[in-house]
Structure 1
Amino acid sequence: MFKVIGALIGFWVFGFLGALLGFFIGSAYDRVRMLGLGGANPLTRNHRQQVFLQTIFTLKGKLAKADGHISQAEIDHTEAFMRQLKMSAEQRQQAIEWFKQGSGPDYDVSTVIHEFRRTCGHTANLPEVLLVFLVVIALADGDFDAAEEALLADIARQLGFSDTQFRQILERTLNQTHFAPGQTSQNQLADAYKALGVDESCSDQELKRAYRKLMSQYHPDKLMGQGVPDDMIELGKQQTQEIQAAYELIKRSRAA
């Protein structure tokens, strides 16, 4: 929009060259404006960050209680998660309240998901990033049970994913965790292909395209522009490291 306005003003004041200058200045402003909005909606980035955190901690509480009780491992992980996000005392208290709210026996996740979709869900990227983060959180205590998987499937449907899409995201994320530091896998090469969401028979071009798409999804600038809180960008970096490790393993196997 601003590139057109800039071109018109430039032409009126300076003629043809002014129109070109105005067009490029307006284009630059449009790009900056879209980055600030995450290309998603006109709400402020701070508000989107607040909603993102509320959704994460509320659904984290729901996941922790999915099997009927909250384990010490899940409590410890929540504490470690808050430390990783470098939360202030006030922020920690708010996060704990969200966690407790989500873990309530009658809490309906549709409320927080509806607000997330209204505020942050206007891109195809951010709902998937949220779902991947929730899968990683569910895996944190080392026990991924049927109740957690069923809840994640319900959350995925409410986020707008089909059951097939959820299964693909889940399998890809589960296999990406096999490439975290200190992790090993008996079928590492097969897991690497699954981590990238491609078949072993895929071409080099298809492999590279899948890899680049996943890496772009967790690019820090992209996540920040869409409203992911700064300190949660580190989780995105961890995902990219796992994706990179899987990709490098496949490349080495194909070069051999």
Structure 2
Amino acid sequence: MKTIVITGSTSGIGKATALYFAKQGYHVIATARNPEKDNLANLNKNIKMYQMDVSDLNSINQAVNKISKENKKIDILLNNAGYGLLAPFELTSEQDIKAIFNTNVFGLMEVTRFFLPIFKKQQAGTIVSVSSIGGLVTMPLNSIYHATKYAVEGFTEGLSYELADFNIKVKLIEPGGVKTNFFNAATVKEDQSNFPEYNPIITKVRETFSVGMTEQESTYSTPLEVAQAIFAAANDNNPNKIHYVVGKGAQETYQAKKQLNDEEFIALINNRFGISKK
């Protein structure tokens, strides 16, 4: 029985992936900041929950020590913990920026750092990180979120060269829109009353994302579809295949990015969100 460790496993993609791998016969080590919130072990006997806050170095250290003592081999690490931030940069506080980088980037890096000695000792392992189509292309109101995901993309691709000699593969999952509570949870909490000039673009962007979520033939993926893509990537033995763009909308947007020049692509995004540049 193969073993996978998953961060951020109590909701959305993480929860769907934990349950999907467990149904395929994997031993699933599901970690979460607050595992008592949704104990997945109650849903499948192949799942065991551990507490891990990826933004807390001591929490990571304690969790990995416990996991390594209780499991002879770890086959896959899934860096899934992360969240979005949908707001104009000017409305985003320094605290919010540091918090999202601590989870989406630095937390992912530190969890990876702790598992590398395990994989090197085994001379085998796969590190899968959930990035986003937002790590390959940009959308309005996502400047800070994009910054975190572009960082994950560069870090992971660069890491692939360093780990090749140890038979450690790295994979990037790049979903587009996913039918979760992502966009509601991503909205920044700061008071917008001091920046009314941003209200038109905020309204347009939220409406565009909402339509994408609810339209009859939605291009958004379900968490299960992303989980299935993660399973396929984790079991893909091609060490040179790193990027896995998931979902019809994400694939169409990424193809447009590759086929159009910069000016044409930016015009396409402006048009999609109803933004006119003066």
**If the length of structure 1 is used for normalisation, what is the TM-score?**
0.33
Query: Structure 1 or 2: larger strand share?
Result: 2
Structure with bigger gyration radius:
1
**If the length of structure 2 is used for normalisation, what is the TM-score?**
0.31
